[in-house]
Amino acid sequence: MKSPPRLDAVPSGLPELQVGAHLAPEDGACLMEYVSVLAGAPFSDHPLCTDPTVAELARLVNDASTDGGRPLLAPLAPSLASTSAKSAVATAALVVAAVRVADDMTGRTVPRVRRHLRRAQRRLAHVSGGGPFGALARRTDVLYQRGAGRHHLHAAVSGLGSLPASSRDAALRTTLEAAIAVAPAPVPPPRGPLLPREKTER
C-alpha cells in the first residue's frame, strides 16, 4: 500500500483548484488538470500519467467537493501523477476499494451504493478467475472502465453527496485515497545487464 501523500509534496505556484474543465492553467484547474501541470504533461484533465479509472474518480471528487474542501485535494496530486493502468484485475480492485469506502462512509445506508458495491465485487471475482470466462472478462477492461466501472464510481460519489458538508469533503478525499492506494505504480524500464569492470593495470 502506498504511503499517504505529504502536505509539502506539492510545489507552490500551481493553479487554483476549481470545478470543471479549463482552457489554460491561468483560468484555474480541476484536480486532474492540476496533475498534468505538476507532471509537466500537456494541460488536460486526462493526463496519460494517471490510470484512467482513478482519473475519473478524481474528477468526480473534485467537482463534488466544497470550495473549502477542494484545496485539500492538492496533496494527492503527486500520487495521482504516478499511477498507470496495468490490468483488468487492478481496475476492478480499485473500483471495489472506492465504492466500499463510500459505502462505509455513508453508514451503509444508501441502497444504490450498496447495489453498486455488490456488482463491483462480482466483476472483481470474474476477472480474478481462471478459465475462458475469466479470460473473456479481462479482455473487456476498457469497456468496463467506460461503462459499468464508471457508473459504480458515479454512484459512490453521488451517495457521498448525501452527507452533510462538514463531513462530505473528508469522505470524498478518503474515497479517492482508497483508489490511489490500490492503483498500480508505473513499472520502471528494465535496466541493462551490468558489465564487469575492466581491470586496470598498475
Cell triple for 87: 490490468
CA distance 35 to 78: 7
Every domain of the chain and the residues it spans: 25-182
| pLDDT tens for the 202 residues of the chain, in order | 444 444 345 555 667 888 877 767 777 788 999 999 888 889 888 999 899 999 999 999 999 999 999 999 999 999 999 887 679 999 999 999 999 999 999 999 999 999 999 999 999 999 999 889 899 999 999 999 999 999 999 999 999 999 998 899 999 999 999 999 988 766 555 555 444 444 444 4
Cell triple for 174: 478518503
CA distance 44 to 38: 11
Contact yes or no for 127/142 (Cβ under 8 A)? no
- 43 CB burial (10 A radius; 0-12, 13-18, 19+): middle
